[in-house]
Amino acid sequence: MKKTFLSLTILGLAIALTSCGGNSESLREIQETLNELKQVEVENVATEEMDLKKVNNTYSIRIPSSFSITTSLNQDASFQYNNLAEEKYFIVIDEGKQEFIDAMVEGDIYNEELSVADNFADIQISGFAAGMTITSQTDVEKRKINGMDARVFSFDAEVQGISFPISYFTAYVVGKERIYTLMGWTLESSKDQYKHQVKGIIHSIKEL
């Protein structure tokens, strides 16, 4: 019933969106509401118990109880968990927002016409070409995650040195003073079993 209600609400807002004409303020408000409803729908699909973790007094995030902490996934990650039995992995890398902007400006690769979130996502996504071949991908979606500007992107890839194709689920989130790269991955053959779970993890991140 809840899922049906959300779907009908989103449909109604979509119809309103097409009838707003040139009122950019109304369009923006409706789009933000749509994004919030998508987030609620994602949160409602999670059925497994999720444990709340607080990281370096900076952010909190929820991870399924079946995942275990590890230090072997990425040396720059402030948060890394996996479920080895099911080949599921998740990391968060956070860094200073202003430091990121300054470094990109100094490297002459920061686009002043784009938001911080768009610049962040563009730069991170462009780096995936090294060492892997992307075989399919989604569009980059604009989201609000617990009040933070975010971009969400998923793709499948063949990775050098790995026999099986991998599916990645990523989000690039801009906080007050920190920016966050969130990434979950699994075997492409298992992505349908992981995608709702990993979206629930991504949408649980909050700044402290």
Distance from C-alpha of 167 to C-alpha of 191, rounded to nearest angstrom: 6
Distance from C-alpha of 126 to C-alpha of 119, rounded to nearest angstrom: 11
Whole-number pLDDT of residue 133: 92
Question: What integer is the mean pLDDT of 31-48?
Answer: 53
Say yes or no to pLDDT of 201 above 50: yes
**Pairing relationship of beta strands 148-159 and 132-137 according to DSSP bridges:** antiparallel
Whole-number pLDDT of residue 3: 41
**How does DSSP assign 99-149, residue by residue?**
HHHHHHHHTT---TTS-HHHHHHHHHHHGGGTTEEEEEEPPPEEEEETTEE
The mean of the pLDDT values for the chain is 84
CATH of 49-207, one of 3.40.50.300, 3.40.1000.10, 2.160.10.10, 3.40.50.2000: 3.40.1000.10
* Res. 19 pLDDT band, cuts 50 70 90: very low
Question: What integer is the mean pLDDT of 59-74?
Answer: 97
* Res. 84 pLDDT band, cuts 50 70 90: very high
Q: What angle do CA 77, 86, 205 make, to 5 degrees?
A: 40
- What is the helix (H) or strand (E) element at residue 67, kind and residue range? none
Whole-number pLDDT of residue 129: 72
Domain ranges, ordered by start, for the chain? 2-43, 49-207
Answer with the residue of higher pLDDT: 8 or 172. 172
Whole-number pLDDT of residue 130: 73
Whole-number pLDDT of residue 25: 55
Say yes or no to pLDDT of 12 above 80: no
DSSP state of 58: T
Whole-number pLDDT of residue 187: 95
DSSP state of 87: T
Whole-number pLDDT of residue 99: 96
* Res. 26 pLDDT band, cuts 50 70 90: low
pLDDT digits (tens, 9 = 90+) for 145-165: 999 999 999 999 998 888 899
